Amino acid sequence: MGSRPTLMIADPELIKTMNIKDFHVFVNRNDFTFGDPLQDRSLFNLIGDEWKTMRSIISPTFSSGKMRSMHPIIIDCVHKLVDNLRPKAMSGEDVEMKKTMGNLTMDVIASCAFGTKIDVYNDQKTNEFIVNARKVFRGNVWRIWVFSILLSISQKLIHWTGFQFIDPSAQRFFGQAVKSILAKRKSEKVQQKDYLQLMINALNRKNVDNDKEPEVDDLNEDIYGKTQSIESNSNSKPGTGITDVDILATSFAFFVAGYETTGALLSLVFYNLALNEKCQQKLYEEVNGLDGKYDYESVSKMPYLEACIAETLRLYPPIGAVNRYALEEYTIGDTGLTIPKGMMVNFDIYSLHHSPEYYPNPEVWDPERFMPENRDQLTPYTYMPFGTGPRNCVGMRFALMEAKTAVAHLVHNAGRHKSRRWRCRCGCHHYCQQFRNNLLWTLCSHVLIADYILLSMPSVHYIGVHHKIERYVRLWSSHGFPQKRLFPPYYQL
């Protein structure tokens, strides 16, 4: 961040060693605080023993048994989506999938993480939850830039100014909403079957592992790797647990991490299915083989559905890299290179996912890569859409459950052919969609923005992103799109 040097790692063996064997050296994502409990108490930002304690409490709430108990909530949300799409399908109306899938994920998160029922399809402008949720993701670009600039100058500026990159009014709304729901839940004798209730049980020191929910073999380790456990510090003070603030921070992190990512995943799955009718047919036959009975176990055991989602996550990973910082001086394998204490390290997910060394024809969407008969060809630690090691995405199981359930129901209920007017929002060409979903911000109106501002970012970030953009420049050029360079390439800086 700022002028701080960052090392990029894209070797699978080094990634394995640094994230598994030597995880104790690279346990933390950052070494600064936001000065805001909503951010600082998030599992994503906690460091050291506080992270270990919180992770050991939260991980059991994402077990397969707990996911199975929440699956009916997901099905209910998907049924509402199907009911909303059915009249549009009957009339032949086109559907903007990114917005539609975003509505689904918002409905799911509101129901599971906040225990709130919303009418996301008919109450977009007046529902307070929806209005404030959209504030978190829209209209905050300037806040992110200002926050980055302040952080690059000095971390103390963040605390002195109290500046946050999330709209304060949205934070206040979610804080008050969760407090109100917690107070209501604590006074009720009947327990709900949602994620918020699991967090309340943890708050009340109820062992979530004592719930008699049968475990399900739902996570394919050949694809996503083995789930690494982490134990909390045995020297923690007695009574250490979670607070109301932790529940708020966790619910908010659930929303931030699960809304845009899962919505984009679903829209891109259907986007690629629309362009590959043979794949559509194969998935349709697999899904219809269950005759509409899509319980948790059935959805978890569809190999081609699993392959379609896994390949989409490979081609369009939710994040391009995961970062850690070294807690001590560290020598990289037998290279003789030494990482000094406090140096940032980025594990380059995007480059691995798009490397022809590990994935032949890497720019081609091909679910067959992840079919059972081909999984022995996958190289471990070259596929990390949810990160890897003990600090991987704790919500991975939930995200996959939501995506598989939505795709299965929609493929079963909807048509299998793309619209004749299929195109991305800007109306250019379908490659724009690929470009759009792999950059943080994209302006596209028949003019390609080949570079974009990287304020307060180190040169290694500029080089990495520049190479990524140049690849899309060549892709667009091959299809006759004009180019316009706004900023010089890194070698001219």
pLDDT tens, the chain, 493 aa long: 556 788 999 999 999 999 999 999 999 988 777 777 888 888 888 998 999 999 988 888 888 888 888 999 999 999 999 999 888 888 878 888 888 999 999 999 999 888 888 888 887 677 888 888 888 876 567 777 787 788 777 777 777 887 877 788 888 888 888 888 888 887 776 678 888 888 888 777 655 445 556 666 667 777 887 776 665 444 444 445 688 888 888 888 888 888 889 999 999 999 999 889 899 999 999 998 887 678 888 888 899 999 999 999 999 999 999 999 999 999 998 888 899 998 999 999 999 999 999 999 999 999 999 999 999 999 999 999 999 999 999 999 999 999 999 999 999 886 555 544 444 443 333 334 333 333 322 222 222 222 222 222 333 333 444 444 555 555 555 545 444 444 444 334 3
In the chain, the amino acid numbered 69 is: S
Residue 300 DSSP symbol? H
Distance CA 185, CA 191 (A): 8
Identify the DSSP state of 126: T
Question: 10 Å Cβ neighbour count for 183?
Answer: 10
Q: Please state whether beta strands 338-339 and 6-9 pair in parallel, antiparallel, or not at all (unpaired).
A: unpaired
Dihedral sign of CA atoms 25, 29, 32, 35 in order: negative
- For residue 370, how many other CB atoms are within 10 A of its CB? 24
Phi and psi at residue 326, to the nearest 5°: -75, 130
How far is residue 327 from each of residues 5, 6, 346, 347, measured CA to CA in Å? 15, 14, 14, 16
Using DSSP's 3-state secondary structure scheme, residue 347 falls into strand
Q: How far is CA 330 from CA 205, 340, 458, in A?
A: 39, 7, 21
The β-bridge relationship of strands 448-449 and 483-484 is parallel
Grouping H, G, I as helix, E, B as strand and the rest as coil, residue 330 is: strand
How far apart CA 11 and CA 15 sit, in angstroms, is: 6
3-state SS of the chain: helix, strand, coil percent to 5?
Answer: 55, 5, 40
Are 369 and 382 in contact by the 8 Å Cβ rule? The answer is no
Q: What is the pLDDT of residue 340?
A: 93
Q: Which domains does the chain have, with CATH numbers?
A: 6-211+242-422 (1.10.630.10), 423-493 (no CATH)
Report CA-CA distances (Å) from 353 to 59, 313, 350, 383: 27, 9, 5, 6
How far is the C-alpha of 315 from the C-alpha of 352, rounded, in Å? Answer: 10
Q: Which residues pair with 387 in a beta bridge?
A: 385
CB 213 within 8 A of CB 61: no
| 393 labelled binding-site residue | yes
> Length of the chain in residues, anyone?
493
Query: In this structure, what are the phi and psi dihedrals at residue 139, rounded to the nearest 5 degrees?
Result: 85, 10
The SS3 call for residue 444 is strand
> Two tokens at 266?
């679903």
pLDDT at 214: 65
Residue 60 neighbours by CB distance under 10 Å: 16
What pTM does this model have?
0.81
- Strand residues in 386-450 grouped as ranges (E): 448-449
Distance CA 433, CA 54 (A): 37
Res 455: pLDDT: 27
- Locate 244 and state its tokens: 């109301």
CB burial class (10 A; 0-12, 13-18, 19+) of residue 455? exposed
Non-local CB neighbours of 243 within 8 Å, separated by 6+ positions: 203
